[in-house]
Structure 1
Amino acid sequence: MTLPTLFVPHGGGPCFFLNPGQAPDPMWRPMQDYLAGLIASLPERPRAILMISGHWEAHRPTVHVGEAPSLLYDYYGFPEHTYHLRWDAAGAPDVARRAAALLQGAGFATAEEATRGWDHGVFIPMMVAVPEADIPLVQISLDRSLDPAAHIAMGRALAPLRDEGVLIIGSGMSFHNLRARGASVTPIADEWDAALTAAVTEPDPAMRAERVAAWEHLPHARFAHPEAEHLLPLMVALGAGGDGPAVRDYRDVVMGWVVSGYRFG
């Protein structure tokens, strides 16, 4: 069975785990509920997850081949307990090397990494989506060029994994401007989100890829993303989604931002 591909929001820092033993922050609860339902929404349970986070860039696409990666607490100013969170899933070296082979077959030079910890773009959403940590995971980096078309091509190269029981997830944020928050931002973010969603859900797959690759020409693009790294995981998920349908399956407002999640295939 062919699995879909996903682009999911990973929240802000350890946002879902700030107050142990208490009800989740109402602002983050819809996103948390969305993430918690991801695995159950799939046609079958994946044997592994391949994840691309907006928090890892490398000079070339790099696959993590570690068998039991540690966690990288790459956020600042949060409660002490959030630097002791655990998500102890196994790595997936076989999937990592299969992904590298697919990328190399498509003309990408690749590298391997075995010691870097999973960043919070991986372990924070996965603590919600796979709380038992019982699905192996491999992380792959962004290419530091941040070229949209190249990342769509990376996704296309990785697409065969969908028929091999591997769930491909891009983890980022559809809006990511840390200097712009509050209700005054929402109308601008809403206009950006509408334009992005129209491009992402374009029925014609070739036109879809063309429109999303040209994201900087959408309204308020550089306001929504002063830097592109949190949007590039969307490109990989879109490319891996192939010619199947594309839908928005999550939308909410957090910190004044309109934030969306997408499903392909």
Structure 2
Amino acid sequence: MTLPALFIPHGGGPCFFMDPEGGPADPMWRKMQAYLAGLIGGLPERPKAILLVSGHWEEDQVTVHAGNGQPLLFDYHGFPEHTYKLRWDAPGAPDVAARAQELLEQAGFPVGVERERGWDHGVFIPMMVAVPDADIPLVQLSLRKDLDPAAHIAIGTALAPLRDEGVLIIGSGMSFHNLRARGPQVTPVADAWDAALVDAVTDPDPVRRAERVTSWDSLPHAQFAHPREEHLLPLMVALGAGGAGPAVCDYRDHVMGWAVSGFQFG
């Protein structure tokens, strides 16, 4: 059975785990938390492994993490002390890492291999919600520093065979990511950006869809929504991995005044 590819919002820092007693998240984040908690149960079958591209890891060439991601990389700042002691002890999947490397090299991409870097919060924060028992192996894949949209769509296309091999491909980022713009005054502009992005990403023609998303920076308010686009590029990988299958917006909410969306491909 073929698994979909997903683009998910990963929240803000350790937003789902701010209570040191393990209580519920701030109400603003609870809809996103519920969405992430339902990811695995909503799939046609439980994946044997996850390949995840986070907006928090960039390398000169696309790089496969072939280790187990431990200890975690707490790459956020200014949060309560207990949030730097969170645990998500899932194993790595070196066989899936090797397969991803093979597919990317067959498509003509130079590929780096890394084993020591911890999984960043674009990985472990959403996965602590989606896979709380940490019982699905995971491989992280980097972005390329050039943040070339077409190249990242092509990277996803190269990885698409993994979907038939029991691997869930996830792009983890945020569809809106301007940390200097927060609050209700941002919402009208964020809504206009989100409507344009959703329309492009869900275009029923897969060729036109890829063309429109490659030209994301021509959409209304694009530079305001993403002063730097590293949190959007994981969407490109997921879209490429989805191939000619349908594309749907399966999550939308507002946090910090931002309209935030998630997508499922294939």
Report the TM-score range of the alignment, normalised by the length of the smaller protein: over 0.9
Match of 1:82, SS?
helix
- Quote the RMSD (CA, aligned, Å): 0.6
Aligned to 1:131: 132
8 A Cα contact 1:99 1:158, kept in partner: yes
| Residue identity in the other structure for 1:176 | H
Residue number in structure 2 paired with 1:4: 4
Q: 2: CA distance between counterparts of 1:64 and 1:175?
A: 26
Q: Secondary structure at the match of 1:229?
A: helix
Partner of 1:215: 216
Q: Comparing 14-23 with 121-130, which one deviates more in the overlay?
A: 14-23
Partner Cα distance (1:127, 1:140) in 2: 18
2:14 is matched with 14
- Paired residue for 2:226? 225
In the TM superposition, residue 244 of structure 1 has moved relative to its aligned partner by 0.4
Which residue identity is paired with 1:14?
P
The corresponding residue for 1:240 is 241
2:16–2:24: 8 Å Cα contact kept in structure 1?
no
Letter matched to residue 50 of structure 2: I
Q: What is the rounded CA distance, in whole Å, between the counterparts of 1:3 and 1:263 in structure 2?
A: 10
| 2-structure distance, mates of 1:247, 1:7 | 10
Post-superposition offset of 1:177:
0.0
User: 1:56: which partner in 2?
Assistant: 57
Q: How does 1:1-265 map to 2 (within 5 A)?
A: 1-19=1-19, 20-67=21-68, 69-265=70-266
Which deviations, in whole Å up to 9, do the C-alpha atoms of 1:71-92 show, x marking residues without a partner? 0000000000000000000001
What is the SS of the residue equivalent to 1:208? helix
Secondary structure of residue in 1 paired with 2:189: helix
Question: How far apart in 2 are the matches of 1:22 and 1:106?
Answer: 46
- Comparing 21-30 with 104-113, which one deviates more in the overlay? 21-30
Matches of 1:225 and 1:3 in 2, distance apart?
A: 29
After superposing on structure 2, the runs of 4+ consecutive aligned residues of structure 1 that deviate more than 3 Å are: none
Q: 1:59, 1:144 within 8 Å by CA — same for their partners in 2?
A: yes
Count of residues in Structure 1 that have an aligned counterpart in Structure 2: 265
Cα deviations across residues 133-190 of structure 1 (Å, max 9, x unaligned)? 0000000000111000000000000000000000000000000000000000000000
Are the counterparts in 2 of residues 69 and 91 from structure 1 also a CA contact under 8 Å? Answer: no
Is the contact between residue 174 and residue 261 of structure 1 (CA under 8 Å) also seen in structure 2? Answer: yes
Q: Which runs of 5+ in 2 are unaligned?
A: none
| Letter of the structure 2 residue corresponding to residue 252 of structure 1 | D
Which secondary structure state, in structure 2, belongs to the residue aligned with residue 39 of structure 1?
coil
Asked if the contact 2:68/2:90 (under 8 Å) is kept, the reply is no
Mapped contact 1:10–1:171 kept (Cα < 8 A):
yes
Specify the SS of the correspondent of 1:159.
Answer: helix
Evaluate the alpha carbon distance shift between residue 23 and residue 67 of structure 1 in structure 2; reply closer, same or farther with a 3 A threshold.
closer
Contact 2:69 2:115 (8 Å CA) reproduced: no
Q: Is the 8 A contact 1:9 1:172 kept in 2?
A: yes
- Describe the SS at the equivalent of 2:44: coil
* Cα distance, 1:90–1:61 mapped onto 2, change above 3 Å: same
> 3-state SS of the aligned residue for 2:78?
coil
* Runs of 5+ consecutive residues of structure 1 not aligned to the other structure: none
Cα displacement string for residues 35-94 of structure 1 (whole angstroms, at most 9, x for unaligned residues):
000000000000000000000000000000114532000000000000000000000111
Name the CA distance, whole Å, in 2 between partners of 1:184 and 1:220.
14
Q: Between the two proteins, what is the percent identity of the paired residues?
A: 74
Q: String of CA shifts for 1:10-52, please: whole Å, max 9, x gaps.
A: 0000000001332321000000000000000000000000000
Amino acid at match of 1:9: P
Q: Is the 8 A contact 2:72 2:118 kept in 1?
A: yes
Distance 1:68 1:228 in 2: 25
Question: Is the Cα–Cα contact under 8 Å of residues 172 and 234 in structure 2 kept in the other structure?
Answer: yes
